[in-house]
A and B are shown apart, each in its own frame.
Chain A
Amino acid sequence: MRKIFMLTVAFLYGVIALGQTTDTATVNSEQVEIPTFTLTESDLSNDDEGSQDVSGLLQASRDIFVSTAGYTFGPARFRIRGYDSQNLSVLMNGVPLNDMESGRAYWSSWGGLNDATRYKDIKTGVVSSEYAFGGVGGVTEIFTRPSSYRKQTKFSYSLANRSYRNRLMFTYSTGEMTNGWSIVASGSRRWANEGYVEGTFYDAWAYFIGVEKKINKVHSLSLTVFGSPTKRGRSGIAVQEAYDLSGTNYYNPYWGYQNGEKRNSRVANYHQPMITLTHYCNISENTKAQGSISYWFGRGGSTALNWVEAGDPRPDYYRNLPSYWELIGNDEKAQFYRNQWLNNESFRQINWDHMYFANSKYLFTVNDVEGVEGNDVTGYRSKYILEDRRNDKNQILANWHINSVINDYLTVTGGLNLSRYKGHRFKTINDLLGGEYWLDIDKYADGDPFIFPMSAQSDLNHPNRIVKEGDIFGYDYYANINTQEMFGEADFSFAKIDFYAGLQLSHTTFWRTGNMKNGHFPNHSYGDSEKNNFFNWGLKSGVTYKINGRNYIVANGLYMTRAPYFRDSYISARTRDFTVDNLQSENIYSGDISYMLRTPAVKARLTFYYTQFQNQTWSRSFYHEDLNTFVNYTMTGVDKLNTGAELGIEANITPTISVSAVGGRGQFIFNSRPVATVSRDNDAAIMDTDRKIYLKNYYVGGMPQTIGSLGIKYNAPTYWFIGINGNYFGDAYLQPNPDRRTQEAIDGLFGDDYRVTQVLHQEQLPSAMTVDLFGGKSWKVNHQYYIGFTLSVSNLLNNTSYAMSGYEQYRYDVDAINKFAPKYAYLYGRNFFLNIYIRM
């Protein structure tokens, strides 16, 4: 630690000492009225994060490939170069916004603040950046410095049929006033009683307030606060059989009728505001420094059904589908289930009323409540509840960075990021659904008919605990992650050649603190775990060769190591503090080379890239019915190779007509044989270690690896425009279940047994085409107001049969591979977004 500190001080001292001439102004990105939003939620991963990543951000990029990737391909889960959002650093005024536990940037944290977060600097790939070292995916800096907003008042209303149907947004900014104060305030409301998918509601507010005071020529102070309290009913994806039976590829198993009204069982409820105090310092004309302290906190989580002593209430549970009954040869039942699915909507949705009914009948005596002998409580025990799986955040960040233009040829930049993070993960009872209490024991633990064994206890400090609405139960732990990171970069610029080199050093410590003493793991669940320490570094460099003023060759390279993420590091953080064996940092090396053309009429870029991720750790949990418990599957040594090419061309054919062409062909594959550890939640014994996964050359699934788009746009001199895009999506694969690619999976099958092929095969999803239409117009009224609208219609031809993504279920049956069929996600059919605004 001390070493790093010394290094940092020495480094920064050097940077400051070098400080000299010229000013670097922040570049405001284009101010085109592109509404940014995320169309679908990523429900592909089995976790309950309801993750929304950063594709919305990319839409504002000036690079035609990047903006098309965000705007057109983002909804189909396309990711630039196949990179997870962990690889893209997102910062707001220099403060990193990537989540500490997963590394991902959750766009929803500042959802609804489109006006306030409009000014961005988006760089993709390995890049030179004055804000952060970045990852292989690039750096996006959102500018929210209050004095950088121009003076305006803006009011907009949007009408859509996507995740929300209405949005109101109001933004007011003063610009820098004569007294040195700058104020910006923005608020929005997004809502829908039902979004595009049935049974989803949307209920969100957002606020942003920024105040800056210029103290003198050198110092300015600003305070910004933003938050986006959002509640929304989520949609889930299902097996094709459920889609076919219900007659729609947007069947949503998460909702059902209660008292005749639609109620969603998966309600995401997030409110994580961030408060940032920033000090801007113009050390000299050419040297600027900026330091901030941020506090980021608040609740997150999503509800889900839980049940005990009762059948699985989820309507698309595999035994509720006709195919299961066919499989076991019960035609009568198969027919019954088929008829119900086809004709009875409430059968294929959640039956809330029934759960209330059942909860009102379940009289139950809990003996020795709280471990007190003879303390017996009798009451109506809930069989079904709605639980809130919380992931609350509590993070303090301190950041400092400096940028100095030394001379015409050299600019240096550097910074320091410190973070203390405490994630709180626990469950609370959201709704007892008419029952009187919930008994906090592990329902999967083997039982004795007369007592609950100690191993079944969620918390041995409170055995046989009775919990009610709002109480914490099940699991309760902190994810502590502390990081110290520094980076520096030097940018050289000459007549023919520009180049840069950057360095990053970081130290990460993480550990688990358990607040419950789990009955299965009494010695490994309560209190602080051992601390895991990782020292990491990265080097990047790039060169731009200017053939002439119009033709450029750009090449970049990077090598870095990255600490494993908390979320992947523990075998089952819910119940115990065991980390994966042989937990190691991953290594990433990446390179790209581009040709760029910049003429007044044509802008084009062609890039080839090659990125190797090595030694990643991968973790998933899933319920295994035969074992009656959650199985935790963790792989180490996962290598992924992402290679491919990107092409983007924009050309102005006439002063009013422009055309664009975008294409991407990637190959995102696994290229190692990882080793898996398999364990279960209710047993300390490890089920298997060193299980070799034959994953080499399988595709990383879940997104199209080939995309293309052709567009034409007419920009009328009279302030209106219209455009149309034709898009192609292809080469998407199901996310593979690693365990199906093991020797154990096909044990006992020989040679040309058809089951071998079935088990090992990775399904390629069919390709698809869509058409998007967009247009808009604005008016200037009385030389005072601007009034305008923009309209975009996606998937104009209403192609509702494009399964853009999907995954193989983690449970599988070699003899009947379709018993646990894959789940698919479909691209939305025709949808639109109309935005009307008035600006003063």
Chain B
Amino acid sequence: MKKLALLLTGGILLFLASCVKQDFDKPPVGELPVGDIYTIAQLRQMYADSGAYQFDKDASVYATVTMDESSGNIYKSAYIQDADDAVNLHFNNTGGLRVGDSIRVYLKGVILSEYHGMFQLDNVRNDSSIVILATQHYVEPLEVTIPDLLSGKYQAKLIKLSNVQFAAQDITKTWAEEDYSANRTLEDCNNNQIDVRTSSYASFALFPLPDSNGTFIAIAGSYNGNAQLYVRTPKELDMHNERCSGSDGVTSFNIDFSDQNNYDPISIEGWININTIGSRSWQAKEYNSNIYAQATSYGSEEENEIWLITPRINLASMNNPSFIFDVACAYWKHDGLEVLISTDFDGANIDAANWTALNCNIPGQGSTNYEFVSSGTIDLSSYSGVSGYAYIAFKYHGDANAGNTTSYQIDNIVLSEN
């Protein structure tokens, strides 16, 4: 019995020695020091000044995420934006950020570099370079124009374009192809165009492109100097309006200005109303219930050069294209109106285009004030062969200081096939 007791005691002691440790302490979680604080603009400047640089000290930049990779359109990266500037983060791995995250990027180890001409922060470690401070602080997109983007502004920023649409040749396509990423052309109603780049890995890659006109939200990117846009999700695009002429060009219009408001600048979808000198533009006027467009330097105290440009005209697809309008002048002081045509205007750069005067009837010295006359039918067929497209501009030039203050009125502008 004693022996048995001994045996049992020994057994119990051995049992007690048989603990196997399986509980683990939660390790103390490290903090990422803040260090020197930079703005994105400062980082961009650093890179511009001294090239690629890897941070080897504690430093941070605060910003808000404007694009994440959850839709698959970008991979191992995110776009962030602070008060003044924006930049792409390139991660070692995928995941971890969402649009609206307010973050601090710990810069130690991060490399300032560029990717095909676009400034980026590289070697950002998803887990250990990012501290998320708050969520759902969404950055409002900047309202910009395609020409702004083409000039290289707003790089990496979240932007919004109004009255844009995909070019006619693309609207039957999908955002990308099954096996490769694709560029699609987005345009405004003045035929300013910019590429929209979509990855074949995007969850919406094989969705059809929106075929209507509207508002477009994207990140402004750049690839080897060419501006391009990256969509976050098609869901935030509001493109349900009727298409404007855009790149496909129009084959007819009949503008009687009846939808314009007295004294307001002329604003017609697809038409350009722009001043190249001075501050005035073509203005809507109402007289005897008739609304028309007027340009004048009278009382402007400055020199004025004002353009009213039609949408892109698709001459190639028209038989016997013809153009006609009504025109009047008042208080003649000088001949200030020209009607010009260009076959190489790109929709944005007036100066870069070649403009040729159209032969038409314009009232001049001695004509009755405000009495409309017909321009006469202008045959445009001879311009078809060049690019197939053309723009027609009403260019007013006056100078109040020189006394060149004639007012011109135009109305009932008609493009048609004869």
Given contacts A449-B68, A450-B236, contact A358 B132 (CB under 8 A): no
Given contacts A446-B72, A448-B203, contact A354 B128 (CB under 8 A): yes
Q: Which of A157, A310, A378 contacts B127 (CB 8 A)?
A: A310
Residue of B nearest to A232 (CB): B20
Residue of A nearest to B91 (CB): A311
Residue of B nearest to A307 (CB): B95
Contacts of B93 in A (CB 8 A): 310-311
Q: Which of B1-40 contact A (CB under 8 A)?
A: 3-4, 7, 11, 14-15, 18-22, 24-27, 29-30, 32
**B67 at interface (Cβ–Cβ under 8 A)?**
yes
Nearest chain B CB to A546 CB, angstrom units: 50
- B203, A447: Cβ atoms under 8 Å? yes
- B127, A231: Cβ atoms under 8 Å? no
Contacts of A354 in B (CB 8 A): 127-128
Binds B, one of A258-266, A566-574, A645-653, A824-832: A258-266
Contacts of B94 in A (CB 8 A): 309-311
Given contacts A263-B24, A310-B96, A447-B70, contact A362 B14 (CB under 8 A): no
- A308, B132: Cβ atoms under 8 Å? no
- B26, A434: Cβ atoms under 8 Å? yes
Nearest chain A CB to B160 CB, angstrom units: 16
Main secondary structure of the interface of B (DSSP, over half): loop
Given contacts A309-B96, A354-B128, A450-B233, contact A168 B15 (CB under 8 A): yes
Q: Which of B18, B67, B92, B126 contacts A309 (CB 8 A)?
A: B126
Interface residues contributed by chain B, number (CB under 8 Å) = 47
- A168, B14: Cβ atoms under 8 Å? yes
Binds A, one of B133-141, B150-158, B263-271, B275-283: B133-141
Question: Complex Cα distance A515/B132, Å?
Answer: 35
**B101 at interface (Cβ–Cβ under 8 A)?**
yes
Nearest chain B CB to A159 CB, angstrom units: 11
Q: Which of B27, B67, B132 contacts A259 (CB 8 A)?
A: B27
- B232, A449: Cβ atoms under 8 Å? yes
Residue of B nearest to A356 (CB): B27
Main secondary structure of the interface of A (DSSP, over half): mixed
Q: Which of A155, A361, A450 contacts B132 (CB 8 A)?
A: A361
Nearest chain A CB to B323 CB, angstrom units: 47
Question: Complex Cα distance A586/B11, Å?
Answer: 51
Contacts of A203 in B (CB 8 A): 20, 22
Q: Which of A192, A258, A267, A362 contacts B27 (CB 8 A)?
A: A258
**A357 at interface (Cβ–Cβ under 8 A)?**
yes
Given contacts A259-B24, A353-B27, A357-B128, contact A311 B101 (CB under 8 A): no
- B71, A448: Cβ atoms under 8 Å? yes
**A170 at interface (Cβ–Cβ under 8 A)?**
yes
**A352 at interface (Cβ–Cβ under 8 A)?**
yes
Contacts of A166 in B (CB 8 A): 14, 18
Question: Complex Cα distance A166/B236, Å?
Answer: 64
Q: Which of B305-328 contact A (CB under 8 A)?
A: none
**A65 at interface (Cβ–Cβ under 8 A)?**
no
Contacts of B334 in A (CB 8 A): none
Contacts of A434 in B (CB 8 A): 26-27, 29
- B14, A157: Cβ atoms under 8 Å? yes
Q: Which of A305-319 contact B (CB under 8 A)?
A: 308-311
- B70, A448: Cβ atoms under 8 Å? yes
Q: Which of B20, B101, B128 contacts A191 (CB 8 A)?
A: B20
Mask, B107-133, CB within 8 Å of A = 1, is 000000000000000000011101111
**A363 at interface (Cβ–Cβ under 8 A)?**
yes
Q: Which of B22, B29, B96, B99 contacts A201 (CB 8 A)?
A: B22
Q: Which of A714-751 contact B (CB under 8 A)?
A: none
Nearest chain B CB to A196 CB, angstrom units: 15
- A364, B71: Cβ atoms under 8 Å? no
- B235, A450: Cβ atoms under 8 Å? yes
Contacts of A189 in B (CB 8 A): 15, 18
Q: Which of A231, A361, A785 contacts B22 (CB 8 A)?
A: A231
Contacts of B32 in A (CB 8 A): 361
- B233, A383: Cβ atoms under 8 Å? no
4 nearest interchain CB pairs?
Answer: A309-B95, A311-B93, A358-B127, A446-B203
Seen from chain B, the residues whose Cβ lies within 8 Å of a Cβ on chain A are 3-4, 7, 11, 14-15, 18-22, 24-27, 29-30, 32, 67-68, 70-72, 92-96, 98-101, 126-128, 130-136, 203, 232-233, 235-236
Seen from chain A, the residues whose Cβ lies within 8 Å of a Cβ on chain B are 153, 155, 157, 166, 168, 170, 189, 191-193, 201-203, 231, 258-259, 261, 263, 267, 308-311, 352-354, 356-358, 360-365, 376, 378, 383, 434, 446-450, 453, 785, 838, 840
Q: Can you identify 8 A-B contacts, CB atoms within 8 angstroms? A: A261-B21, A309-B126, A310-B127, A356-B27, A361-B32, A383-B95, A446-B72, A448-B71
